[in-house]
Structure 1
Amino acid sequence: LSPSFVVALGALMVAGIANGTENVTTDTILQKRVPDAFLGRVFSVRFLSFSIGEVFAYGAGGAILDASGARFTYLLAGVATAMAGLAILLFLAVTHGSQPPDAPQKGGEALREH
């Protein structure tokens, strides 16, 4: 799939950096927005859904790989990921696009909260 091992290794490094950044960002947002009493439950559901999703992804990916080959499987996964990302962006634009942003806090109040 890759022209060389070095190119594949570089792509995996970029993917790992992006994944780490996403994990930190998502965890931070959840910790700031979810009440402490529910934080454990929310993280449990989050990681459970990833684990269940992986089971189905490995099964579907294996079946597609056997039927169509590696290049098509990666292409299909990329297209599906792009479509999911676009759907999320459209959903956010429709549900949050017409709302004005929150007003910034006054200087003293913002400093006391942190």
Structure 2
Amino acid sequence: MLKVIDRASLASALNEPNLDPDLRALIPLRVEQLGHDAKLFVIQGGDTPDVINAVVGFAITGNDPVAFNYNFISDHGRWFEIALILDDVSTRIFVENDPGTELGIHGLCLSHFWPDGEGEGR
């Protein structure tokens, strides 16, 4: 799980040797578009609900998730992008589109693009 909330954490994230190339391009683009006050979180396969909720700062997933409003969800292939405002700050949550990604948050993203019943019989 990555958390980008300032220039130091941005540099640290971009220096991760195993960072996905698409994410390496998306993160600085969003910081440039939204400004350095923006918060970016990256949820990857293997991240548990406890870790995700602690880093994001509220129960976004798990057994008792808090309902939250988001502005939009974008599909970037291997990554979904959830746009929302947290504490008056532009926030982006990148969610890995992978079977190993936590089911609650991954399911939210998938359901946005694949409504109920659309995949039946395939």
TM-score range, shorter chain: under 0.3
TM-score normalised by L of structure 1: 0.24
If you compute each CA radius of gyration, which structure gives the higher value, 1 or 2?
1
More helix by share: 1
TM-score normalised by L of structure 2: 0.23
Q: Between the two structures, name the one with larger relative contact order (CA 8 Å, sep ≥ 6).
A: 2
